[in-house]
Structure 1
Amino acid sequence: MSWYVTKAVIDTIDNVVGVLDENDITAEATASILSSLEHQIGTAAKDGQNLTETADTFALETKSLNTQSLTSDVFFLVAADDTASSCIDKSCQTKNSDLSIRLPKNILTGPNGTQTNLSFIVFFNDVLFPSETLKETNRSTSGVVLAATIYSTRPSHEITSETMVELVFNVPENLTSSNSKCVFWNETIPDWSELGCTTKSNKDNVTCECSHLTSFAVLMFRKTDEVDLPGRALSWISYIGCVLSICCFIVTIITLLSVKEIRQRMPQKIMINLCIALLLLDVVFVLGIDRPDTGSGSCIAVAVLLHYFLLVSISWTFVEAISMYFLIIKVFNVPGRKVWWTAGSLAWGIPLVVIVALYLSSKKFYTNEDYCYVDSSMGVFFNIFVIAPIGAIIGCNFVIFVMVIKKLFIRAPTLGKIATKTRKTKRKRAANAIAISLLLGLTWMFGFLSFKHATSTVFVVIFTVLNSFQGVAVFILFCVLRNECRQVWRSWFNAVRNCILPAERHTKRLVSDTRKGSDTNDISLSAMQSTSKTVI
């Protein structure tokens, strides 16, 4: 009798789903339909029925297993003709299927008794899973939803990284597996969520490994023949600018460190730390931002390092701004070395504490579906730990910038030649400090202006160009245009020339001696010939 009831429920739901319009159906209605279907299938499974049904909109199977004789993982396979079946033998792994679920045998063994009941469902469309997330993005599911449930007994083994549930989805021709994302249907939202799932993909298949059982799908982007030329151009500008900046940062750091008199000055110490932070930020960005294995451990490590060095760089711009304030505004109240050492320690240390605390509390923040970077979709975390600190520091830097400009160019002192000379020194120092504030701090204002602004594209271009070529600007302003740096390079050039010239001179001497010997031999030979002729 129970089989007839189950069959009637399946046919009814199949007919309803077949005529549903996803634009008209409500979340409450789909939740009710899913609940009815899952309840009836659960009843059949708990009764130990081995049921296999294939309808137009979905297929299902219930299975009762003797776990004592279970020697292999359990597979649920869906063929290209939409026929579904489960298998236990290892040979079933070689069967041709477009979709599959693998349940590790370790999670099927019950603590009381040896019988475990299972159910599998494959939905051939996602009408019963209306998602607001998909409506707001350019994504869609692959058109298939897979579900599995274990009944009767509590699994004796928790699902771990070694016993993850594995699902394989094929990639439809109109979709691309690039930046795909494995998700499950979270009934409490209700919407798709990626919590507990990792994604591995190639051009033909997407493999999901999940730590729980429910209804699963894969979110993908639609294929497009259009080429995003502006986006590609900005990417190339970013990479070229960062590579050039890396080279310039390296030369700048080596130059400043090579002379004791230069590296012992506090402004140069701040500059060196700022350059090191930006150098590391650019290196990690170039090598790791576009890693294909988004969501992996290495990709998360790249995201953590990028966030850390970003916060460190911004912190050092604030230290630079404070230094400029005391050097120009509060001339006679300059803090001692201990204060600057404390500020430097905080600039490196506070971001580290923030990153560690954030990683331990929400590792998901560093799992981005597109790049190895923080997940900007987590609005609260992104605003608190990225936007807020950058905005606060850039705001303070801008205030100091205005104060310095007012001090130097509006209320400049006129106290004779000494004051004039001092004023020139101040202006030169201020020009450098202002330049570094503009290039390494205030340029972030263009980044803020690019958020949901009518002319956001213009600000994005300006922001990308200025921040990508930071190292080049620093190199020009603080090395090329500074006489003491040019003297350092001149000394390097002379040292190299002195190493090369003695070898050249020695070579020339040998060549000259060889030529002289050759000339002597020629003269001797001519003399012998002349003597021979005379004798004859």
Structure 2
Amino acid sequence: IPGNIAMIVQLLHNISTELKADVDEAKMQSYSIITNHILNSESISNWTFTPEKNSSCVLLHSVNSFARKLSINKHPIDISDAFIHIKGSTISRDNTEKNFTFSMRVNDTNRKVTGQVFIARDELWDVPSSSPVVSIAFPTLGAILEASLFENIVVNGLVLSVILPTELKNVSLTFEKISKSEEKRTHCVGWHSSESRWDQKACQMIQENSDQAVCKCEPNRFYTSFSILMSPHAMESPILTYITYVGLGISICSLILCLSIEALVWSQVTKTEITYLRHLCIVNVAATLLMADVWFIVGSFFAGPMTRHNGCVVAAFFVHFFYLSVFFWMLAKALLILYGILIVFHTLPKSVLVACLFVVGYGGPLVIAVITVAVTEPGQGYLRPEVCWLNWDKTKALLAFVVPNLTIVVVNLTTATLVIVKTQRATAGSSMFQEVRSIVRICKNVAILTPLLGLTWGFGIATVIDGSSLAFHVIFSLLNAFQVSPGA
């Protein structure tokens, strides 16, 4: 029962904080038995409904705190239960090396997964004689953390806690993979106890194959527990990386060329008010798409599972803002068309029309982007775990991008249809013919570009769906990477 789980967690927390004396093996065993009860694999789903969503984090911190008080004398300690295994020993500079090996069931099958804590000889030089070392293995805690925190990441090995002397700066951890998929990225991570999240900064990958990963981690007062994460969505494919970076390079060069040509011919192509406004929209579509591509590349440097780097938040914000601006400037072009067809074009001064275009093109995206980050970031629901982009699984923040853009696609296609109907009667030689021809030219840009942009991000939505095919990722990368501005 979720309420009972919360009560037991609170009890274990109180014991670990109130107890000041050293813990002997008997007390540690009693504590382990209680902990084992709520770590049962059959109870994982119940953790989702616990009143306190951070109960699993509190449990992990409490167990580590209690084990830190464990008194170890001459004989090693080995307390083994089905869902928690505790080993303790003493080390000194005279030891050649030290390792703890665990083998535990991670689900309801008989298959076991191993994990190993290894302390190299070089790390023992500065250790005082008879220093205690405790290591704890949790086969189900990773899944419990996933269930209670609603993060769409997968802990793909045992969770290993290590309590070491402060003189020890590095420890080598070997994790056998639960899921041996080669398409998913694996990352070594440490649990940040004060921020209740997995952090890639605590560890680095030393060696990896399809069966296991070897991590070098740096335990300290913030990082005591470690594991490996597997992203359920991100696919490790060389072709995706190649398409993305080559395509973005070509796209950026093409957009710079487009803006350069616009600058050279600006005075020649903006002699009338309607052509001036048209090219103003073209320039801003190209500029915003260029900035979006640049920030997309910047964001790739911060990518990683559960990375909460401030730079990643900033990159995701600007990618969101500038890609929204591309669509909103297309909306501005559509509104310009409607104004020219349904009203009289020269009713408002050009300065007022320009101001209106900028309000639509940048004001709308800015409001949406700011509200999105303000609402979701305080609860750590702004970013997806593995990339600098809007979260889908926890907060559905991605809807702040998808809904406005799909709405604009519908509005712009409706506008294009309306223009076709309204301009059928315009004939060559009439007073409105030149103006109508300019409006039709704008309409062609909108009618062609809007479906392409909508199609591109339609495939983008498909890539966040569980089990989506690699083909969707390739198509999205091709369409997104090779986007350029419409011809002037």
Structure-2-length-normalised TM-score = 0.62
Which deviations, in whole Å up to 9, do the C-alpha atoms of 1:73-111 show, x marking residues without a partner? xxxxx93136999xxxxxx993289xx9xxxxxxxxxxx
Cα distance in 1 between the residues matched to 2:155 and 2:218: 16
Alpha carbons 1:394, 1:442 under 8 Å: kept:
no
Q: Percent identity?
A: 17
Aligned to 2:251: 245
AA aligned opposite 2:353:
V
Aligned to 2:112: none
1:254, distance to aligned residue in structure 2 (A): 1.0
Alpha carbons 1:289, 1:373 under 8 Å: kept:
no
Cα distance in 2 between the residues matched to 1:443 and 1:39: 48
Q: Could you tell me which runs of 5 or more consecutive residues in structure 1 were left unpaired when the two chains were aligned.
A: 63-77, 86-91, 101-118, 150-162, 187-191, 479-536
Which deviations, in whole Å up to 9, do the C-alpha atoms of 1:40-66 show, x marking residues without a partner? 985995xx967784434203599xxxx
1:370 to 386, 407, 414: 386
Which deviations, in whole Å up to 9, do the C-alpha atoms of 1:417-446 show, x marking residues without a partner? 437954655444432332233344564345
Higher RCO (Cα < 8 Å, 6 or more apart) = 2
Structure 1 pair 202–242 and aligned structure 2 pair: CA distance change class (3 A) = same
Q: Secondary structure at the match of 2:161?
A: strand
Structure 1 pair 340–458 and aligned structure 2 pair: CA distance change class (3 A) = farther
Alpha carbons 1:284, 1:302 under 8 Å: kept:
yes
Structure 1 pair 322–13 and aligned structure 2 pair: CA distance change class (3 A) = same
Cα distance in 2 between the residues matched to 1:147 and 1:368: 28
AA aligned opposite 1:404:
V
Q: Secondary structure at the match of 2:388?
A: coil
Cα distance in 2 between the residues matched to 1:374 and 1:206: 30
Aligned to 1:269: 280
Structure 1 pair 221–274 and aligned structure 2 pair: CA distance change class (3 A) = same
- 1:321 is the counterpart of 2:331: no
Aligned to 1:306: 319
Cα distance in 1 between the residues matched to 2:410 and 2:283: 23
Alpha carbons 1:288, 1:299 under 8 Å: kept:
yes
- 1:413 is the counterpart of 2:425: yes
Aligned to 1:111: none
1:339 to 332, 353, 368: 353
Specify the structure having the higher radius of gyration (Cα). 1
2:99 to 71, 80, 98: 80
Q: Secondary structure at the match of 1:381?
A: coil
Aligned to 2:7: none
1:8, distance to aligned residue in structure 2 (A): 3.2
1:246, distance to aligned residue in structure 2 (A): 1.1
- 1:254 is the counterpart of 2:266: no
- 1:133 is the counterpart of 2:146: yes
Alpha carbons 2:142, 2:158 under 8 Å: kept:
no
- 1:202 is the counterpart of 2:201: no
Structure 1 pair 7–272 and aligned structure 2 pair: CA distance change class (3 A) = same
1:3, distance to aligned residue in structure 2 (A): 9.9
Higher helix share: 1
Structure 1 pair 271–25 and aligned structure 2 pair: CA distance change class (3 A) = closer
Which deviations, in whole Å up to 9, do the C-alpha atoms of 1:279-332 show, x marking residues without a partner? 111123235425566543444433233222222222222212212222344454
Alpha carbons 2:141, 2:159 under 8 Å: kept:
no
Alpha carbons 1:182, 1:218 under 8 Å: kept:
yes
Structure-1-length-normalised TM-score = 0.57
1:17, distance to aligned residue in structure 2 (A): 8.7
Cα distance in 1 between the residues matched to 2:472 and 2:360: 31
Alpha carbons 1:394, 1:444 under 8 Å: kept:
no
AA aligned opposite 2:124:
K
1:221 to 216, 230, 234: 230
1:348 to 350, 358, 362: 362
Structure 1 pair 451–380 and aligned structure 2 pair: CA distance change class (3 A) = closer
1:252, distance to aligned residue in structure 2 (A): 1.0
